[in-house]
A and B are shown apart, each in its own frame.
Chain A
Amino acid sequence: MAIQAASGLGSEALQESAEAIVERALEQGVVAEVEASVGLTVNSFARFADSGPTQSAERARLDVSLLVRVERDGRLHQAGASGQSLEVDDVDALMQRAISIAEVSPPLEAPVTLGGPVELGGITIAKHRGAVDPDTISHDPAAKAEAIARAVAACADAGVAPAGLFDTTGKARALANSSGRSVRSESSRASFALTATELHPLGLGGAGWAECIRARVGDLDVDGVIARAIQKSAPGVERGKVEPGEYTVVLEPAAVSAMLLFAAYYGFGAKEVEEQSSFLCGRIGEQLFPKELGIRDRWNHPMYPTAGFDGEGTPKKPVPLLQNGALVGPVTDRRYAQRLTGSADASTGHGFAQPTSTGPGTTCLSVDAGDQTMEQLVGGVERGLLVTQFHYTNVIDPREMLLTGMTRNGLFLIEDGQVVRPLKNLRFTESLLKALGNVRAIGSELEISGALFDGEVIAPPLAIDNFRFTSATDF
């Protein structure tokens, strides 16, 4: 007997499956509390390079995870298990694994109740996001091949080598638990990215990059990406060199994203604050930043709505993180909401699937748009640098948000308000907090960007004074 065979992206079916798993766990009489999450990911991608498409996949994965709590001597013990099947035997085996670990784990010192039914205005709601875009999840390799062929041909015409990715993904997820919570969501994502590299016998040529990420494949500007990446690569133009030091910079959205993601990984969550490693420690409420700069976690951003509940099934609250020139308090999950406010139900909806030692965190960062066009941002710089993207950014000191990384795919010199020439790359070593404090102007055009590691940020370009570069490269 299959508990539920999921088909398509139907989140209703996933929700029924999650509820059936909870029911089955409780029927067995061993488990005191249980939470089940069922997710379906349908992904199609094609990578490409100078020879055209190089790699592709058409794939689907089902992810089933369980949190179980068992009672021993009046105390709760918990553990989790995850698998990829909704067949009864497999679900039973999954449950048994989780129970076996829970039975030998140390008791929970301060157990937090599982979340109850989700209500909005007194009405119990289940669904937290509209249906996926059907065109995105049915986008096929032939359509991808057509876009890739355009990119390869345009790069050949410009004398640069292409490399890129066309990716379309649909996700559905449902969560149910023994406290009566039952929620589901669906979302889709499409992206097209191109890196154009100047042909050079020793690989020392310049490179340009552009990417477009949207919730619907029909909203992708593929030709715009191709044109921007080639233009950024500046074929045939000799790259200048500037010495490391402090510069006024205009960071394009991808560079802003690469830095801000580290704030998401390391500091906006309540666990890092409690353990004193967060940059929020001692800074909440301090007037350290321009009043015009706004950063928030916003799952329902109109440009890119994502799943509306967190790993515990709690509806995500859009929360300000930096407003009116100051950092605001951390985001929470049920455990940290309990610790900070005495009520787990006060969670801001930023938890991950339990059990986990990972604390709550932001996953939908966005920076508010300003009022400056890119021309105005650059036009306001007497001598500085335009940065397309950072590569391999990493954190040296999370408390100070001291980061380092390399410029990549388009570093340009700005003189007298004009972009004058491409440059060889530089390494920055700079505090994100200092950089945000030195924001002098905010762009009006928002873009969705990721970086080398997980996550995406919606951000405008930012002009920042006194940004520190510490070493250089020969390419």
Chain B
Amino acid sequence: MSQSMQHAREAVQAAESAGADYADARFVELELEELRLHNGALEGARAQAERGLGLRVLVDGAWGFASAAGDEPGAPAELARRAVGSARALAAARTGPIELSPDDLQSGEYRTPVVEDPFALSYADKVDLMVEADKGMQGREEIVSRNVDLGLRRERQWFFATGEVEQFQELVRSGGGIAATAAIGGVVERRSYPAAFGGDSSAAGFEFVRSLDLAQHGTRVRDEAIELCKAPVCEAGERDLLLMGNQLMLQIHESVGHPNELDRVFGHEVDLAGASFATTEKLGEFRYGSDIVNLVADSTAEGGLDTRGWDDDGVASGRWHVVKDGIFQGYHTSREWSHRIGESQSRATNRAEGWYNPPIIRITNLSLMPGTWTLDDMIADTEDGVLCDTVKMWSIDQRRLNFQFTTELGWEIKNGKKHRMVRKPTYQGNTPDFWRSCDAICDEHHWRLWGLSNCGKGNPMQVAEMSHGCSPARFRKQTFVV
């Protein structure tokens, strides 16, 4: 047994000795490199390393959790004392005990498949790649900001739980992107590649960053930002909406993923993140989308940012339909929540941010399955629409119904052809109406996973990562606003 696993084991055993009915401990080591080249200077150049232990206990039907950085020898016993003491104190105020589903936890190891270890690559090679990616965005005075981002992450977790369960996971994530912002006459617009807010990332090694071929897209991104500043604002009105994958992935996240978290459904996230319209009586009956809408959750998907062996309950990853042929079919659950809907096994979506936080239900990799169209055919089949590309702004209500999104760029579609570029395309809608209006989804050749690295939930808030796969799709008669 490794020293880190031994550390976790000591914490669990100390908690059990102190009266815990169940305990699990996660010793987590995190390495992170976040590099940003801004206007040619390496302004964001930060390497982070941390390690610590988080212990969760169930005592008298209440959770307790305590965490501390480092691996000092006395830490497990001290954490056990604090976590058990906390649970006991809080149990007095509970109206009933917390119960866990009887999942069969198995020991094992899981590692993200990696071709090129991002942490073995020299910093010089990484900086060279970023400098090359920046070159294409240079040369125009209208550009006021150029960013090249690189984000690399390796998380090792030693999980030990009551019942002598030992799980080791090494999760590696790599990503990057470029963005150029132009300013002309008081109009400021940004274009990004391959996605906004730092680009795209994947559970993979540096080969994923290389596959993005950032340097090949700099000039296009620069010129589109300039062109956008001169483009008219997208007009208000009712038109067909065509979404590219780097926008549709966030639509999936906000209007399918979050309302599907079972703790939200039962009101336990109302204090900050919100609740859900997708209440339990709708399960198996509610028409969430049109017949062609199939949404699959999959924590085993190759390249998914939430692809892993087990969640932080220790339950093995899995795959299931959240929406099948348009009908609402399943929730994201944990051992604490699955039995509330009569399921004996958790969907394994309980996750914590690092060692510092207790786990909560998080969206896993959630994807819209491909359809049968090509993008060219979908455009040719559209009389009056707007093709929206790349996330710019998102907002959705506390029950995940009323949403409003703005993308970086829009293309007006008139009589089956791209007509002109428009800026600030903003559409507003209602979740079930939106998904029910979906009448065309592009095929598997257009489909890919998109990484989302900044999902906030919980109170105090935690950040989690997951991926959403999709291909471009069309939604009939949506409302554009100004």
Contact = CB atoms under 8 A, between A and B. Distances in A.
Contact of B48 (A56, A83, A276, A392): A83
Interface in B73-118: 82-83, 85-87, 89-96, 98
Interface of A: 43, 45-62, 78-85, 87, 90, 93-94, 97-98, 100-106, 108-109, 140-142, 144-146, 148-149, 152, 161, 163-165, 167, 193-195, 197, 201-203, 207, 274-277, 281-282, 355-358, 391-399, 404-406, 408, 425, 427, 429, 452-453, 470-475
B20 to A, nearest CB: 14
Contacts of A393: 395
B424 A396 contact: yes
B188 A399 contact: yes
Interface stretch (B155-163, B237-245, B273-281, B322-330): B273-281
A46 B394 CA distance: 30
Given A101-B45, A356-B44, A392-B397, A51 B94 contact: yes
Contact of A102 (B45, B145, B456): B45
Given A47-B271, A57-B358, A276 B144 contact: yes
Contacts of A56: 63-65, 86-87, 90, 358
B477 to A, nearest CB: 15
6 contacts: A49-B266, A79-B45, A101-B47, A149-B93, A197-B267, A356-B46
Contact of A60 (B42, B43, B49, B69): B69
Nearest to A148: B93
Contact of B270 (A45, A105, A197): A197
A354 to B, nearest CB: 9
Given A394-B394, A396-B406, A471-B402, A357 B44 contact: yes
B268 interface: yes
Contacts of B40: 106, 109
B356 A145 contact: no
Contacts of B89: 140-142, 144-145
A360 B267 CA distance: 38
Interface in B197-235: none
A313 B38 CA distance: 23
Contact of A452 (B38, B66, B183, B272): B272
Given A52-B94, A93-B49, A405-B395, A60 B65 contact: no
Give the residue among A49, A78, A82, A203 with the most B Cβ atoms within 10 A. Answer: A203
Contacts of A472: 402
B90 A46 contact: yes
A338 to B, nearest CB: 14
A356 B183 contact: no
B41 interface: yes
B147 interface: yes
Contact of B426 (A161, A164, A396): A396
Given A85-B70, A202-B281, A473-B401, 13 more contacts: A45-B460, A50-B95, A84-B49, A106-B42, A141-B89, A144-B89, A275-B145, A391-B274, A396-B406, A398-B188, A404-B404, A405-B395, A406-B397
Contact of A203 (B44, B83, B399): B399
B90 A101 contact: no
B150 to A, nearest CB: 11
B467 interface: no
Contact of A202 (B50, B54, B188, B279): B279
Contacts of A45: 460
A53 B62 contact: yes
A472 B429 CA distance: 10
Contacts, number: 277
Given A81-B47, A106-B42, A393-B395, A163 B271 contact: yes
Give the residue among B54, B93, B187, B404 with the most A Cβ atoms within 10 A. Answer: B93
B399 A100 contact: no
A473 B267 contact: no
Give the residue among A161, A395, A396, A470 with the most B Cβ atoms within 10 A. Answer: A396
Given A276-B144, A406-B397, A473-B402, A83 B270 contact: no
Nearest to B278: A203
B90 A53 contact: yes
Contacts of A395: 393
A416 to B, nearest CB: 29
Contacts of A43: 460
A427 B428 contact: yes
Contact of A52 (B93, B401, B459): B93
A276 B273 CA distance: 33
Nearest to B35: A101
Contacts of A83: 48-50
Nearest to A335: B43
B459 A406 contact: no
A406 B398 contact: yes
A274 B145 CA distance: 10
Contact of B42 (A50, A105, A164): A105
B68 interface: yes
Interface in B301-346: none
A450 to B, nearest CB: 9
Interface stretch (B123-131, B165-173, B362-370, B409-417): B123-131
Interface string B348-359: 000000001110
Closest 4 CB pairs of A and B: A52-B94, A53-B90, A276-B183, A357-B43
Given A57-B67, A398-B188, A356 B43 contact: yes
B188 A276 contact: yes
Contacts of A85: 51, 69-70
Contact of A404 (B50, B90, B277, B393): B393
Interface in B260-297: 266-277, 279, 281
A145 B90 contact: yes
Nearest to A109: B41
Nearest to A406: B397
Nearest to A281: B186
Contacts of B401: 473-475
Nearest to B233: A397
B181 interface: yes
A312 B402 CA distance: 42
A195 B271 contact: yes
A471 to B, nearest CB: 6
Contact of A141 (B85, B98, B273): B85
A429 B480 CA distance: 13
A56 B82 CA distance: 11
